[in-house]
Amino acid sequence: MPYRSTFWLLVIILYSCQPEQPALSDADWPSYLGGKDVNHYSPLKQVDTANVNELEQVWIYHSGDADAEGRSQIQCNPLVIDGILYGTSAKLKLLALDAATGEELWRFDPFGGQYDQYGLGVNRGVAYWEEGKDKRILFTAGSFLYAVDARTGKLIPSFGKDGKVSLHEGLGRDVDGLFLVSNTPGIVYQDLLILGTRVSESVGPVPGHVRAYNIRTGDIAWAFHTIPHPGEEGYDTWPPDAWQRSGGANAWSGMSLDEERGVVYIPTGSASFDFYGGDRHGQNLFANCVLALDAATGKRLWHFQTVHHDLWDRDLPAPPNLVTVTHDGKKRDAVAQITKSGYVFLLDRETGQPLFEVEERPVPPSTLDGEQAWPTQPIPLKPPPFARQSITEAGLPRRSKEAYDYAHLIWSNTREAQPFVPPSEEAAFLFPGFDGGGEWGGAAVDPEGTLYVNSSEMPWLLQMEKYQVLAGGSMAERGRQIFQSTCIACHGAGLEGNELYGNIPSLIGLKERMQKPQFVELLKKGRGLMPSFAVLSENEVNALSAYLLHTEEAAVENGEEESWPYPYTFKGYNRFKAPDGYPAIAPPWGQLTAIDLNEGAIKWQIPLGAHPELTELGLPPTGTENYGGPVVTAGGLLFIAATMDEKIRAFDKRTGRQLWEAPLPAAGFATPATYTVNGKQYIVVAAGGGKLGLKSGDAYVAFALKN
């Protein structure tokens, strides 16, 4: 007996000295944004507040396909399962890497090397499903959903047609040639992949149905109509024929899943056209909603609309967090939804009722012909907004007289930045801007009920212009008018492009770089971030060619079809920047905020990021615009990249104090992931750059503690 007691005592002592070995689910990053609750949370704690300063880069993987002109991005939050990292490259190749070394195991190219002809947009992640030895990666590229064998990187031929399904199918109307992609991964429930889409919010409206695909076959199992059909709930919040002709109200930003309840929670975006709704009078359910659907059937359980009759492109930008909070002394399961406006709506998970009061606040009427703005908008009274809501004179920049004088001149001649002032022919500030406030990186939540969210503090200018059909005039003049209705928002009134909004190229001198056949093909198919404009008639394509390529064109005899059906056009995405290139407001220009969801109060708020050249002049950190979300861990840490200064940082989640930072080869406009392999914890982030005028990258970078 003494011998046995000594033996087991030694075993206990030896075991207690070993590093903590988490369960497989803890070791992995198994679903987009960490888990199906999308809380960006990991229970790992090998890296903590005491040793995080010892992190170092342990591997870097280069895919080799960054765009030399700075127009490609990697926004992917990768999965890590059983020691294998699954992610996508700048040209939407699906990658499998050894998560401990960064060694490539396989890659799958959905475009067969023809990305420049067929590639569309970005990809923010992939989904994983397994049953026995059948292990599949479900991901989208362009307008197709693919099923790929997770072991080999080969298409699964029994899925859809030879391994892929067209997203254009199953929408109940002909949308061939129109812009339709899915840049955020769907969520897996049993043998279903529930998937949303990104569609054009201006030209060629496409309905934003949410669809569930059978993972084995690729067949559509159910569809939910976000623009209701006759007889469906919400049909009376639109004109009677809206279900046949309106578009948008789509779920482009992802979704979360309560597997125990069998409920999927889906955020939706605005209806098209974004900035004029004279053809869609009404509240417009289920645009701008948090939707709770039965995951097995698609049946609506409840909804909560965050913007009525949206005229500001206030899409819900990220999946809602599924949280448990202490409210009025009781534990409550809830849904926390961040918004571009800088609000957080905290809703009961079973009923959709707000846990904190939401006030329906009167807002100004529209001055545009035919428009009927909704008279009130919902404003949560708690928590307070995590981004500023207005620009005052005191909030103008003081860094130089030139910056102040310029900002004051524009500010004094522009409609004030107040929430929900309808668009008009007079320029107005939208603050927070079109990209938020909150954005697609989403928020992290820890088990204590603290939500961590990063935000940009950038005002944008919103202005509309009357659209009048030309009576006569040259084809080039007609082309200029078509450009104003379809292209000006991205490429600018002077054709100069927009480096800050997705590095959109200049069209000045396009005739030197492109012949008409290439131009026609580009309009038909789209390329990169540019959607298809197949909706344009032959006359309209010829007119654009005359304007942009200076070709000699004559109108064809098939009639003059008008693809632009609205009485107004949008004058473009214009940031409010001073002549020195920085925001024309006082800092901070980007923030990181911790919000106590139990109390509905802000715990701390700090600037996120810095412009080194301003820091060298003695200015305190200003924060920067940022894209990509945070990760929070049981080690007391918050990891985030996202900033323009091309760094990844770690903060003490309790105080917001920065504890560590490291440079990246390009800006990390993506949400990191953390995982363990063989007991060692890693933090990995995609460094793809390619936004805000920054260079593109092609890398995944991993950090771990020094050996």
The pLDDT, as a whole number, for residue 560 is: 56
Give the pairing of strands 210-214 and 192-195: antiparallel
Q: Which residue has the higher pLDDT, 288 or 482?
A: 288
Query: Which CATH class, in words, describes the domain spanning 468-563?
Result: mainly alpha
Distances (CA, A) of 641 to 87, 437, 499, 597, 629: 17, 17, 20, 24, 8
Say if residues 568 and 632 touch (Cβ distance below 8 Å): no
For residues 413-442, give the mean pLDDT: 92
Report the share of the chain in percent with pLDDT over 70. Answer: 94
Q: What's the chain's average pLDDT? A: 92
Q: Is the pLDDT assigned to residue 583 strictly greater than 50?
A: yes
**What CATH architecture is 84-123+125-166?**
Beta Barrel (2.40)
Backbone dihedral angles phi then psi of residue 166, each to the nearest 5 degrees? -80, 130
Residues 6+ apart with CB under 8 A from 560: 537, 539
For the record, the structure tokens of 93 come out as 């190749």
Whether the full predicted model's pTM is greater than 0.85, yes or no, is yes
Say if residues 219 and 193 touch (Cβ distance below 8 Å): no
> What are the start-end ranges of the H helices in 421-503?
475-486, 488-491
Strands (E), 559-695: 568-570, 574-575, 590-596, 601-607, 631-633, 637-640, 647-652, 658-663, 673-677, 680-689
**Cα separation of 344 and 524, whole Å?**
40
Give the pairing of strands 41-42 and 631-633: parallel
**What CATH architecture is 33-77+446-457+588-707?**
Beta Barrel (2.40)
Nearest to 314 by CA among 487, 193, 437: 437
Per-residue model confidence as pLDDT tens digits over 302-359? 999 999 999 999 999 999 999 999 999 999 999 999 999 999 999 999 999 999 999 9
Neighbours of 150 (CB within 10 A): 24
**Cα separation of 502 and 522, whole Å?**
18
The pLDDT, as a whole number, for residue 27 is: 94
For residues 200-222, give the mean pLDDT: 93
Per-residue model confidence as pLDDT tens digits over 531-558? 777 778 888 888 888 889 888 877 766 5
For residues 104-115, give the mean pLDDT: 94
**Cα separation of 71 and 87, whole Å?**
19
Residues 6+ apart with CB under 8 A from 133: none
For the record, the structure tokens of 30 come out as 């198994």
Distances (CA, A) of 429 to 317, 392, 484, 524, 581: 20, 11, 21, 34, 18
The pLDDT, as a whole number, for residue 23 is: 41
**Cα separation of 439 and 454, whole Å?**
8
Q: Is the pLDDT assigned to residue 610 strictly greater than 50?
A: yes
Q: Which residue has the higher pLDDT, 265 or 494?
A: 265
Domain ranges in the chain are: 33-77+446-457+588-707, 84-123+125-166, 468-563
Confidence of residue 115 (pLDDT cuts 50, 70, 90): confident
The answer to which of 87-96, 248-257, 569-578 has the lowest mean pLDDT is: 569-578
Q: Is the pLDDT assigned to residue 241 strictly greater than 80?
A: yes
